[in-house]
């Protein structure tokens, strides 16, 4: 799909390859846009992937769980 620029939490701008992949987590599967990490990058499951997989973060435990319902906006 090409390359895109991203701003890190430290404010640096980095360029990374992007593409699509099938992502699976907690028994759910979905096609998501992914960013291919560089050396030393942190692995993250972004909010778009969580929404595509119908998952959410439990605010009391900080753990992923299946969402009861997905927002229809």
pLDDT attached to residue 9: 85
Residue 11 has pLDDT above 90, yes or no: yes
49 SS3 class? helix
pLDDT attached to residue 69: 87
Q: Is residue 22 part of a domain?
A: yes
The C-alpha atoms of residue 51 and residue 4 are separated, in whole angstroms, by 21
pLDDT attached to residue 63: 95
Residue 32 has pLDDT above 90, yes or no: yes
The helix (H) or strand (E) run that includes residue 51 is helix 47-52
Q: Is residue 73 part of a domain?
A: no
Q: 43 pLDDT band (50/70/90 cuts)? A: confident
pLDDT attached to residue 59: 95
Q: Is residue 71 part of a domain?
A: no
Looking only at Cα atoms, what is the longest distance across the chain? 38
Tell me how many domains the chain contains: 1
Report the predicted TM-score, pTM, of the whole model to 2 decimal places: 0.72
């Amino acid at each position: 799909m090409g390359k895109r620029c991203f701003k890190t939490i430290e404010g640096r701008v980095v360029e990374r390859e992007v593409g699509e992949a099938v992502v699976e987590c907690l028994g759910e599967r979905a096609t998501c846009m992914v960013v291919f990490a560089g050396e030393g990058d942190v692995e993250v499951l972004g909010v778009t992937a969580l929404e595509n997989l119908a998952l959410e973060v439990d605010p009391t435990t900080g753990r992923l769980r299946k969402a009861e319902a997905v927002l229809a906006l």
